[in-house]
A and B are shown apart, each in its own frame.
Chain A
């Protein structure tokens, strides 16, 4: 028991020594750690990083979706067989399918069966339509090798020669318009992102300079007690890097949470009409890894920019108070 008590006291003494040593070692930072200007700067940085991160996410989402639309559409063409007097529709469809499968650059060809055609026509004709009684055009969907596409005009001619009622629709007019629109959307997204980035950079620069203006006296005092410019700039740079990094991390993390939340919402509400509409446009609404990497880069840029601006401001202020010539200055 006595040994236990002695050991306990030893432990307390050692802890006390450690605390005292730490207290001595911890000096007040040369740049005051927290003040109103610093907190305002952190808040501004967090808000701007949040907005810029959302823009990065939105641009990657639009760019991915545009690429996907383009790919999906260029991967398929359809052949429409119009009903004509005396045409054996089933045989005509089968012939078209055989010709298509025999052509280079075609990966697959399938006849849209009665059930699928019925589903396509359901909004206009209602359920339970007997397709045999109605002169409805039928479709053969042809899968295309996107890397080695077939010669569409030759394919069209071969099909029409074999089945005069058949007509190949390669969606080219559609695709070109959609591609133009998708590219315009990506360009608009990049333009918006550039504007948001410029606004973020300017806001960070001005907010940092604003927060620095209160520190002019500290810079002067350090200067006149003989501190080298590199030392003073280093102290401020470290301090403002911490402020910038904290603000950017908060803003960027919130944006990533928003992305994650949206993706989770579309996943869990997959069956609802609202989610279907969103999925039709943007897939699962998930930001891919490039979006997240973009946000991480943004956080690093904002933190670096804050530190760099503070360094530049210190160096400018030092130049202004250092051996100024009254005529030049």
Chain B
């Protein structure tokens, strides 16, 4: 689904922060992306969801070479990629329901056509009681689950999550992990960027380890 071939990245005229990255995110696969702080996890994730161009190499997303994509093509590809940001990025003036429904609303769909799906998903992530709450009154874990629900609402082909358990206690982190595994079983490829070793040890999954700008893969 996403393929990197000899990808390198540097900012301005500085040294390369990512070097010779070659890997593939396969359909329905599950993997962790890890490495020490500052190793370039977020930069790699940004390249995965088309927010950053590589300075060299080839990236193919859903069969399309990103170097040849025009700005017009980007939204339709992004709609097939769900992203969970480290800082949630929920819109503060909207309720949990409205935040989760946002991706469908921007696609111009009628609310009646998705209302039940959104309610079901919010219940599935355990926020049924917080449907009409604004983000300011939600706890860190609740915000995290709302952000995950928003990334999942349009059944993406790939889910990218940046430190999804960084703000929650271990029991909730395990619950969130189960949620990702369940999602993966339904057919979505999942990439979780984390440096939480405890979390990774709970699942026997592929690990992409970034260090000194290079990537080691442990299948």
Which residues of A are at the interface with B, using a C-beta cutoff of 8 A? 24-25, 27-28, 30, 32, 217-218, 220-222, 224-229, 231, 321-327
User: Across the interface, which residues of A come within 8 angstroms of B69, CB to CB?
Assistant: 323
Give, as a whole number of angstroms, the nearest-CB distance from B80 to chain A.
8
B111 within 8 Å of A (CB atoms): yes
* A-B pairs with lowest CB-CB distance, top 7: A227-B106, A226-B79, A225-B103, A325-B53, A32-B93, A326-B11, A226-B78
Q: Is the CB of B53 within 8 A of A324?
A: yes
User: Across the interface, which residues of B come within 8 angstroms of A221, CB to CB?
Assistant: 89-91, 102
Give the size category of B's interface with A. 35 or more
**Contacts A224-B85, A325-B53 known; 5 new A-B pairs at CB < 8 A:** A25-B111, A27-B98, A28-B95, A30-B106, A224-B51
Task: Indicate whether A227 sits within 8 Å of B51 (C-beta atoms), given known contacts A27-B105, A327-B12.
Answer: no
B210 within 8 Å of A (CB atoms): no
Question: Which residue in chain A gives the minimum CB-CB distance to B95?
Answer: A28
Q: Is the CB of A326 within 8 A of B10?
A: yes
Number of A-B pairs whose CB atoms are under 8 Å? 81
B172 within 8 Å of A (CB atoms): no
Q: Could you jot down 22 A-B contacts, CB within 8 Å?
A: A24-B111, A25-B111, A28-B93, A28-B94, A30-B102, A32-B93, A220-B89, A221-B102, A224-B49, A225-B106, A225-B150, A226-B107, A226-B154, A227-B106, A229-B75, A321-B51, A323-B51, A323-B53, A323-B69, A326-B12, A326-B53, A327-B10
Interface of B is mostly: loop
**In the complex, what distance in Å separates the CA atom of A325 from the CA atom of B78?**
18
Question: Which residue in chain B gives the minimum CB-CB distance to A326?
Answer: B11
Option from A25, A218, A228 in Cβ contact (under 8 Å) with B91: A218
Q: Is the CB of B71 within 8 A of A217?
A: no
**In the complex, what distance in Å separates the CA atom of A27 from the CA atom of B74?**
27
> Chain B, 190-214, contact with A by CB distance < 8 Å: what is the 0/1 string?
0000000000000000000000000
**In the complex, what distance in Å separates the CA atom of A4 from the CA atom of B74?**
61
B149 within 8 Å of A (CB atoms): no
B83 within 8 Å of A (CB atoms): yes
B55 within 8 Å of A (CB atoms): yes
Q: Is the CB of B71 within 8 A of A322?
A: yes
